[in-house]
Every structure is written in C-alpha cells, then in structure tokens.
Amino acid sequence: MEQIGKCTCSKRMDGKTIIVTGANSGIGKETARALANRGARVILACRDRTRGRETELELRQQTGNQSIIFMHLDLSSFDSIRDFANEFLTMEQNLHVLVNNAGVINPGNCHTAEGYELSFGVNHLGHFLLTSLLMDRLKESAPSRVINVSSIAYRLGVIDFDKLKESKGRVKSYARSKLANILFTRMLAAKMEGTGVTAFSLHPGSIDTGIKRNWSSWLKRMAPLITMFLKSPIEGARASIHCAVADDIEAHNGGYFEGCKAKKLTPAACDDDLALALWVKSLEMTGMNTEL
C-alpha cells in the first residue's frame, strides 16, 4: 500500500482567508476542517447548495470556528465562476490560500456549459479561470499560495490541443486534466515570480472519496475490493494541508508533492513549452484576453 507522509507542521492560520473548492465532501471537506481548526477563515466553494450549507453548519459546530462560509460555485460554468469571484471580491479583502481541490471524472460524454469535455473543463479550465479572476487579491495578500490538487494519474495524460473538447474515455480524460493541473502550476509559479504568490500541485494518494459516483458500473461492482486499498479522506487531505501551512516548501515553488514530500515529475509534466502553450490556449478558452 502506498505511504502518505504526515504533515508535522503545527502552524496556526489565524487571520488567514482560504478558499477550498469542492469542500462539501472527501478531501476538500477534511482540508477545510483542518484549516478551520487552525483558526483560518475558510470559504467552502461548492456546487451543491444543500450539502454546502450542511457542511458549513457541521464544521462550525465541530471546530468552534464561526468564520466558515459556504459560497456557491459551479466549476462547469464560466458564468458561475465569474459570479463567485465577483461576490468573493466584494465580500473579502484578503485571500491567502486558494485550494483548487474540486475534481470530477467524466461519467460519459458530458460537457461543461461552454461545451468543453467535463473533466478538462472542470478540473483545469474552471480552476484556471477562478485563479485568474482572484489573482489580484492573491497578490495584494502576499505571501499567498495556490494549491492545485492533481493526481498520479497525470502520468497517463496527453495534451492534444486539437481535441480538448473531445472525451478520451473516463481514465484518459481525467489523466489529461490532471497533467494540465501540473503544467498550470509550473507556469503559474514562473509567471508569479517576485510577486509573493507561490504555487504547488500534489497527488493526495489513492483516496476513498465521493468521486466514485462517476465510476463505471463494473468499477462500482468492484468497489468493496478496491476500497480495501484506498486511504481515507483525512489521510488524503494531508498533502493539501501541508502545502497550505508549511513554511519550508517555498524552495519547491511550482513543484509537485506526493503526500507531504516533493517528488520528481515525468518529462511531459516538466515540458515548459507545453506548459506555455497550454497557458495561452487556456486564456483563449476562458476568454481571459490579458496576462495575469
């Protein structure tokens, strides 16, 4: 079974404002819980309004932290992302950590509101647009961090710029989006150099999370066996928490973590020309016509 390092940093986060996307379940919920326990003001950015409000109430009661706030965010809709960003920027003066945690596996041939393949559209483009819209606030709040939850599945990913709207099947589409997360992180770190904004990507481990709802029928039948080898969401959140709070990771700006340790990437994930091309294409696809 894979080993997931444990974050040993006990740093408090009082006075820090943090957004966690997909915070109503799984890794996102446990990340939000841990950061709230450290005193942070935590924004739960969730698509499901009912579950988002329930999580807000639950975490407030469990942590005693009343600065936990649900805000609606549907990463499959650029309009929703822009509405969220506008509301956040009106309401909050600071943003110290943005945890781009939400993720989906395309259950079939599904697309976002703008017509992009669902996994790529939500996991990469949605978070790319969200980060872009919030970047000025991140700069103003520096030192600040962007954390992109990727996956070791990135190793199977291929970026074909002519077919980004097409589904490549569940696994390949998901892997493509996770490779995009890492390439985005590397380019973001390079472009933000000197601003006080740093960026990190990570693989949380093989986790038993709500993403199983998007599994195919035969995978669901195998779920009892598969889940024997999966880690809990609490264990999976350790890498995100580590990247959010640890003081000793700045030297790894743009880097990739597995558990709580920096890891080397495959050549494709270190291809800066590919990362730049993806950056330019993502600006075009999201309608962001200016550089960050």
- Burial class from Cβ neighbours inside 10 Å (0-12, 13-18, 19+) for residue 53 reads middle
Is there a catalytic annotation at residue 154?
no
- Of 116, 154, 174, 256, the catalytic one is 174
Name the amino acid, one letter, at 129: L
CB-hemisphere CA count at 13 Å for 16? Answer: 23
Tokens of 81: 């992302």
Strands 68-72 and 41-46: parallel
Vertex 135 angle, CA 19 and 123, to 5°: 60
- Report residue 245: phi and psi, to 5°: -115, -25
What is the rounded distance in angstroms from the CA atom of residue 107 to the CA atom of residue 11? Answer: 39
Strands 256-258 and 97-100: unpaired
- Burial class from Cβ neighbours inside 10 Å (0-12, 13-18, 19+) for residue 67 reads middle
Catalytic annotation, residues? 174
